[in-house]
Amino acid sequence: MTDTTAVHIYNGYEQGPIRPPSEAQSLLLRITRNCPWNRCTFCPVYKGSRFSIRPVVHVLRDLDTVAGHVQQLVTLEANSGSPTEQDLRNLMGRLSHAEIRPFRAALTWYLAGMESVFLQDADSLVLQLPSLLTILKHLTTHFPQIRRITTYGRSATIARMTENNLIALATAGLNRIHIGMESGDKGVLARVCKGSNKETHITAGCLVKQAGIELSEYYMPGLGGSEHYQEHALETADALNRINPDFIRLRTLAIPERSPLAQEVRNGHFSKCSDLLVIKEILLFIENLQGVTGYLASDHILNLLPEVEGQLPQDKERMTHVLRTFLELDRQTQILFQLGRRLGIFTRLADLDDPQRLVEAATVAAEFGVTASSIDAITDDIVRKFI
Ligand code: SF4
């Protein structure tokens, strides 16, 4: 791990490149840069970028800058009601170039109600405990209205922490951790260089829950490839059964050209699942969830059937029904749905009952000569534009 805290040059407010979809309303507070692991083969996000820990004083300076802009917005609203676009343009016109970015962050957060904060980047829990506690204290002192502070954490990092340290973070305000489990299968985890095995995932997940912190676990359908989709589904379900997280989030595999996995596809070492196989895998996965009482969320654009989400266990039957309904469609209708969903013509399976949407999808399919053998390559190309 590289710690560049020795270089104490403050280059202004920073934001990292990603956040979970559920943190769209959150203030993004960058406390580290990039990923200390950076080896997962499916992940292109930080490849080629060095990991570093931002000095705590820089993080606090970012926060103070945001607090200053929030105060300006509060004053503006107190004086003249909800700010108009012209008010905001006037305000921005008086800012220096360096102030524009934190102002935009403050504005977005202010308009969203300032209730949640997401600590970036990939593994904030590598910070020393006192540093994290200082940042959390500053946050909760300056913004007492905050209800949720969340972060990404790697299982390998969390499994090395003590329960007492996690409890200290929970007490200081950290109340949700997002973990990229991706798979519970040891073969899949080793092949994609996740840096955590099934036991590490279970240890980390249970520690987070025991500390009273909400736990959100990501599962990546498709990551086993067509050869290992069954073990991938069954072992992931088993790991999650042992943890019982508050949220399971589906994020279907897509393979960006710049990821190491794309090279494995090109040289024939990884066989990507078709949409049909991914749906079979998710069905097998949900059928094998036992005793999980959290929420299964489908909040990622890459998922083919976003309505496969709900509260476990009571919505399990409804979710598996949607998956079976898709699998029982005739092949031509499945193809139209795959294409139409990726193009935004359909948002859910029930949209197939809308004749207008169906005609639109059929027209596009005919125009591009889509067939059963070309549909997955075509939708892969479309999906790559989302990532
Ligand atoms: S740990 Fe997360 S951010 Fe880091 S390489 Fe793996 S998937 Fe990407």
Q: For 135-176, what is each residue's pLDDT tens digit?
A: 999 999 999 999 999 999 999 999 999 999 999 999 999 999
Query: Which amino acid, 228?
Result: H
Query: Which amino acid, 306?
Result: P
Ligand 1 centroid–CA 299 distance in Å is 19
Q: What's the CA gap between 147 and 134, in Å, rounded?
A: 18
Asked whether the predicted pLDDT for residue 6 surpasses 90, the reply is no
More confident residue, 387 or 291: 291
pLDDT band at 300 (very low <50, low <70, confident <90, very high): confident
Mean pLDDT score, 359-385? 91
For the range 223-228, what are the long-range contacts, defined as Cβ-Cβ under 8 Å and sequence gap of 24 or more? 223/42, 223/182, 223/183, 223/188, 223/192, 223/253, 224/183, 224/185, 224/188, 224/273, 224/281, 225/270, 225/271, 225/272, 225/273, 226/271, 226/272, 226/273, 226/274, 226/277, 227/271, 228/185, 228/187, 228/188
Asked whether the predicted pLDDT for residue 66 surpasses 80, the reply is yes
pLDDT band at 3 (very low <50, low <70, confident <90, very high): very low
Q: What is the dihedral of CA 46, 146, 4, 97, to 10 degrees?
A: 80
Asked whether the predicted pLDDT for residue 1 surpasses 60, the reply is no
pLDDT band at 91 (very low <50, low <70, confident <90, very high): confident
Q: What's the CA gap between 92 and 329, in Å, rounded?
A: 53
Ligand 1 centroid–CA 183 distance in Å is 13
Q: What's the CA gap between 325 and 103, in Å, rounded?
A: 48
> What pLDDT score was predicted for residue 7?
58
Mean pLDDT score, 270-285? 97
pLDDT band at 131 (very low <50, low <70, confident <90, very high): very high
Q: Point out the ligand 1 atom lying closest to the alpha carbon of residue 154.
A: 1
The 10s digit of each residue's pLDDT in 301-312 is: 889 999 999 999
Asked whether the predicted pLDDT for residue 318 surpasses 60, the reply is yes
Average pLDDT, the chain: 95
Mean pLDDT score, 193-207? 98
Q: How far is CA 112 from CA 74, 115, 204, in A?
A: 13, 8, 32
Asked whether the predicted pLDDT for residue 5 surpasses 60, the reply is no
The H or E element spanning position 277 is helix 275-287
Ligand 1 centroid–CA 101 distance in Å is 26
Ranges assigned E (strand) in the chain: 27-30, 32-33, 52-53, 116-120, 148-152, 174-182, 214-219, 247-250, 295-297, 310-311
Ligand 1 centroid–CA 322 distance in Å is 31
Please check whether residue 343 is in contact with residue 382, taking contact to mean a CB–CB distance below 8 angstroms.
yes
Task: Provide the edge-to-edge strand list for the sheet that holds 174-182.
Answer: 27-30, 116-120, 148-152, 174-182, 214-219, 247-250, 295-297, 310-311
In this prediction the pTM is: 0.93
Q: What's the CA gap between 133 and 60, in Å, rounded?
A: 12
Q: What's the CA gap between 171 and 203, in Å, rounded?
A: 21
Copy the structure tokens of residue 117. Answer: 């904060």
The 10s digit of each residue's pLDDT in 251-275 is: 999 999 999 999 999 999 999 999 9
> What pLDDT score was predicted for residue 385?
76
Q: What's the CA gap between 139 and 216, in Å, rounded?
A: 22
Q: Which of 46, 120, 255 to mutate to test the pocket of ligand 1 (most atoms within 8 A of CB)?
A: 46
Q: What's the CA gap between 21 and 301, in Å, rounded?
A: 9
The set of protein residues with a Cβ atom below 6 angstroms from ligand 1 is: 35, 37-40, 43, 45-46, 122, 154, 180
Percent of the chain with pLDDT over 90: 88
Q: Which of 32, 34, 35, 259 to mutate to test the pocket of ligand 1 (most atoms within 8 A of CB)?
A: 35
More confident residue, 296 or 9: 296
In the block, residue with structure tokens 């639109």: 360
> What pLDDT score was predicted for residue 225?
98
More confident residue, 212 or 85: 212
Give the lowest-confidence range in 13-17, 63-67, 94-98.
94-98
Q: Point out the ligand 1 atom lying closest to the alpha carbon of residue 42.
A: 7
Ligand 1 centroid–CA 43 distance in Å is 6
Q: How many other β-carbons are positioned within 10 Å of the β-carbon of residue 347?
A: 12
Instruction: Give nearest CA residue, ligand 1 atom 5.
Output: 38
